Amino acid sequence: MGFTKYTSQKEKEHIRMNEGIRAPEVRVVGSGGENLGVMKTPDAIRAALDAGLDLIEISANAVPPVAKIIDYGKYKYELKKKDKETRASTHITETKTTQVKIGTSERDMLIKASKAAEWLREGHRVKIDLFLWGRYKYMEFVFLKERLERFLAIIPESYKIADEIKKSPKGLSVVVERDATKKQAPPKAGQAPKQKVQNVVSDIKI
């Protein structure tokens, strides 16, 4: 009951409980969630301790502050569970970047396409740069665009174009994002999807 040697200093400063509650009176919530009304803080602490529990301030900004009669260990567990659920529901979307070149090997193309698919499944956008150097910078846009589209064709995940292919400081770039309206078709019995993708790559070189 109450703080233990396993409680961090940060938690002690953040959580007010029992004698650490500074308000002279609090609105008390019982262990079952029932409203016990406004009580003098010493009386509320006594009621909690008599029940073998703690009095924990759960809303310091309310007037008067709200405190709940609950076991500290259970309260700490509920906080962690709520924090985990909040973090899961607030997924941060990033724009990941990968780069290919004219002449990129089949193996590297597969690795990069697989990584792009992984990012898409995680909900991120993916920016793909076709890096150009030397004489490649002066080639026809249509020709270079086709080379970038060949890489897009082997990404093993459904996607849609978020930012069309265009010239960039590095050469050409395109931004894709996952298309939630489409689902990958499951492989047929006896089919080896990875081998199929590799066969496509062997016919398409950037």
All domains in the chain, ordered by first residue: 9-73 (3.10.20.80), 95-182+192-201 (3.30.110.10)
Q: Mean of the pLDDT values across residues 136-151?
A: 91
**Model confidence pTM above 0.95:** no
- The C-alpha atoms of residue 86 and residue 29 are separated, in whole angstroms, by 24
SS3 content of the chain, % helix, strand, coil (to 5): 40, 25, 35
The answer on pLDDT for 74 being more than 80 is yes
- The C-alpha atoms of residue 48 and residue 68 are separated, in whole angstroms, by 9
Residue partners of 200: CB distance under 8 A and separation at least 6: 153, 154
**Per-residue pLDDT, 87:** 73
Q: Mean of the pLDDT values across residues 74-78?
A: 90
| pLDDT > 90 in the chain, percent | 60
The answer on pLDDT for 202 being more than 90 is no
- The C-alpha atoms of residue 55 and residue 29 are separated, in whole angstroms, by 9
The answer on pLDDT for 107 being more than 50 is yes
**Per-residue pLDDT, 194:** 44
The answer on pLDDT for 106 being more than 60 is yes
Provide the CA 123 distance to its chain's centre, in angstroms: 8
The answer on pLDDT for 171 being more than 90 is yes
Q: Is 98 helix (H, G, I), strand (E, B) or coil?
A: strand
Q: Which range is least confidently modeled, 45-49, 95-99, 121-125, 200-204?
A: 200-204
For the record, the structure tokens of 14 come out as 């953040």
Which residue, 58, 112, 50, 55, is CA-closest to 82?
58
